[in-house]
């Protein structure tokens, strides 16, 4: 059994471990177009998880900022 204390630290709790793993997977994709398409899909999921952000100005920009923050600014899209 795997406990949360033995797993990687969650960078942004509001998105959860699954989104963080998806972003980590994005870092492994070689093809830039495929990585870009998958990044858009992850952004959509992040928007569904935080519907209260839709009222915030520059909603999509904030989600992209969060994506880059979780990827430790290593994601090239």
What ranges do the domains of the chain cover? 4-70
pTM, 2 dp: 0.88
B/e letters for 32-49, b = 16+ CB within 10 Å, e = fewer, are: eeebeebbeebeeebeee
pLDDT tens digit sequence for 2-61: 888 888 889 999 999 999 999 999 999 999 999 999 999 999 999 999 888 788 889 999
How far apart CA 53 and CA 62 sit, in angstroms, is 9
């Amino acid at each position: 059994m795997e406990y949360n204390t033995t797993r990687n630290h969650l960078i942004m709790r509001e998105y959860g471990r699954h989104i963080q793993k998806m972003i980590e997977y994005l870092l492994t994709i070689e093809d830039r177009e495929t990585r870009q398409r998958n990044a858009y899909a992850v952004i959509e999921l992040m928007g569904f998880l935080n519907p209260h952000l839709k009222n915030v100005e520059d909603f999509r920009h904030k989600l992209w900022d969060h994506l880059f923050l979780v990827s430790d600014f290593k994601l090239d899209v």
